[in-house]
Amino acid sequence: MRDLAVAVSVGLLLALSLPASAEAKPQVPAGPPAEMVAIPAGVYRPLLPISPAEAEVAVAAFWLDRVPVTNADFLRFVEATPAWRRDRVGRLRADGRYLEHWAAPDRLGPEVIADAPATNVSWFAARAYCASRGKRLPIEREWERSAVDLDATPAAREAARAQVLAWMLTPGKRSLRAVGQRAANHLGVHDLNEVVWEWVDDYGAALVPLDDRNRGDDDRQKFCGAGAAKASDPTDYAAFMRMAMRSALSASDASGMLGFRCAKDAPS
């Protein structure tokens, strides 16, 4: 009994001496920082699977930024890392339109919405930004897995597609607006498919329909519909658009409608 009393008082002392935050800590693996959301492991169905075995691709759990990186965020990065100013970066890593919408290399100016997604950012610059935050760009399967709800009801899927198409029909800069203004999707992620196109780290893996060793199969591409007949869901127009977008990109491209957000491996 005395032992118990000692144990209790020691416990009380410990509890009192520990800062409040430590109480919530035990064993539970750390969650993502506030600006990110934990995306559970899931699957991605590539639009044009390379082989039947890859019709459904497993995607490990990871963390994804809730919103795209904004002009204000990117300005802070450029201030901290002047090598990424538009007047200092090499053309190998960013073409001539890199950050061209800013008033000056170190100033957004009145025309730029600070909380709108940072656009005119090349793949190299996006990678560098994410690395500076201890993050990385999401890969295609992660991005798609976060954007497309495979469990959605047909009606919900239809609504989601209508929304994407509505965005695509909005002319250029008019759709640029502050991030996080619209409802999050089923996973808690904002602005996917609603404000800008977004970089994925493996954009260079998109749409490689033919390897040189398969050149004999070239005919497959010449026949109307041959490619689409193999598509996992030929009605998913937005997914075709994203695939085509990625396949047309080069690493130094900066485009006024192309932004990015960062991801991070979930701790295992």
Partner 1 sequence: MRTLVKAAAIIVGLGLSVGCQSKSSPPPPPPVPSTHEEPAPAVGERPSEPLPPLGDASLYELDATLVDEAGTPRRFDDFRGRPVVISMFYSSCQTACPVLIEELKELVARIPAERRDEVRVLLISFDPERDTPAKLRELFAVHRLSAPTWRLATAQDDTTRELAAVLGVRYRKLDSGEFFHTSVTTVLDANGVARARMEGLRRSPDPLLDALAAMPGPEQPPTP
Which chain residues interact with partner 1 by CB under 8 A?
A: 50-51, 53-54, 57, 90-93, 95, 123-124, 165, 168-169, 171-172, 201-202, 204-209, 211-213, 215, 218, 221-222, 224-229, 231, 234-235, 237, 240-241, 244-245, 247-253, 255-258
**Minimum CB–partner distance for residue 154 and partner 1 (Å):** 13
Nearest to 197 by CA among 132, 150, 244, 233: 244
Strand partners, 264: 63
Of 23 and 211, which CB lies nearer to partner 1 in the complex structure?
211
**Minimum CB–partner distance for residue 187 and partner 1 (Å):** 24
Of 95 and 106, which CB lies nearer to partner 1 in the complex structure?
95
Which run of H or E residues covers position 46?
A: none
Sequence-distant (≥ 6) Cβ neighbours of residue 217 within 8 angstroms: 210
Largest Cα separation within the chain, whole Å, is 87
**Minimum CB–partner distance for residue 174 and partner 1 (Å):** 10
Q: Is 225 left (phi over 0), alpha (psi -120 to 50) or beta?
A: left
Strand partners, 197: 258
**Minimum CB–partner distance for residue 95 and partner 1 (Å):** 8
Of 29 and 172, which CB lies nearer to partner 1 in the complex structure?
172
Of 4 and 53, which CB lies nearer to partner 1 in the complex structure?
53
Give the C-alpha separation, 170 to 202, whole Å. Answer: 27
Give the C-alpha separation, 94 to 92, whole Å. Answer: 6
Of 30 and 169, which CB lies nearer to partner 1 in the complex structure?
169
**Minimum CB–partner distance for residue 227 and partner 1 (Å):** 6
Give the C-alpha separation, 200 to 140, whole Å. Answer: 5
